[in-house]
Amino acid sequence: MALSRTAADWSRPPVVRVTLTGEATRNRLDEETLAELTAVLDEAEAAPGVQVLVLDAVGDAFCAGWALDSLESAWRERIAAVGELLTRLRTSPLITVAYVDGAALGGGVGLAAACDQVVVSERASFRMTEVLLGLVPAAILPVVARRVGGHRAYGWALTARELSGAQAVEAGLADRQGGRDGLRRVLIALRAADPAALVALKRYHAELAPAPARYEERVAEVLGPRLADPRTHRRLADFREQGLIA
């Protein structure tokens, strides 16, 4: 498929690098972006010799979360696609690595947290902003909680607390600092390991912390009332008018 929201680099096997290129929308997760990420993941899993998928982005934002336009008609499909992508990153036989060099907001926090390793630069920051918009981080909270613990993730979501890259590493939301050099060191370590052992380890790790029961159904049940509330849409309209969201 032709890529318009992402760019894929297949030139350095066994690593495939996927870059979010929607700088104008701060790399938000709209339908096109979600479809392209899923398609590249499908292709990488099927390609012989590919072992690692690196996800990064251009611009000041790693990912500003899921697209907030057309929520009245498209939210169920969009949330389902977000949930599917997070599950795929977490359970893929590929080792997934997020390189966060900028702001991860809302769903962008979940996108990074779903990966096996998260490397941050000095510019990295993380913030679950949903409650500020009248929403609930229903799709990403289980993913973040799996990394840092339930109450800590809940507290961050409750207060929309912003974390620096260093704070994220200290809390376990990210794994390594050091920018591009830190990413290089992670990739060197992964190349040194036995590929089959990595796959077996990842599968076992997923079994130790399975996804919540009825995950996608519960996300829809939690978000449905929020998105049916006119106050939520007025709040989103105010943020959009101020230029704070796309």
- E strand or H helix at 8: strand 6-12
Under DSSP, is residue 242 helix (H, G, I), strand (E, B) or coil?
coil
Smallest Cα–Cα separation from 119: which of 180, 76, 65, 66?
180
Under DSSP, is residue 17 helix (H, G, I), strand (E, B) or coil?
strand
Neighbours of 83 (CB within 10 A): 21
In angstroms, rounded to a whole number, what is the distance separating the alpha carbons of residues 9 and 84?
A: 23
Cis omega before residue 210 (within 30°)? no
Tell me the angle at which helices 230-241 and 71-91 cross, rounded to the nearest 10 degrees.
80
- E strand or H helix at 96: strand 95-100
Under DSSP, is residue 105 helix (H, G, I), strand (E, B) or coil?
strand
Query: One of 32, 77, 84, 130 is an active-site residue; which one?
Result: 130
Q: 170 catalytic, yes or no?
A: no
Backbone angles phi, psi at 171, to 5 degrees: -85, -15
Under DSSP, is residue 18 helix (H, G, I), strand (E, B) or coil?
strand
Q: Which residues are catalytic?
A: 130
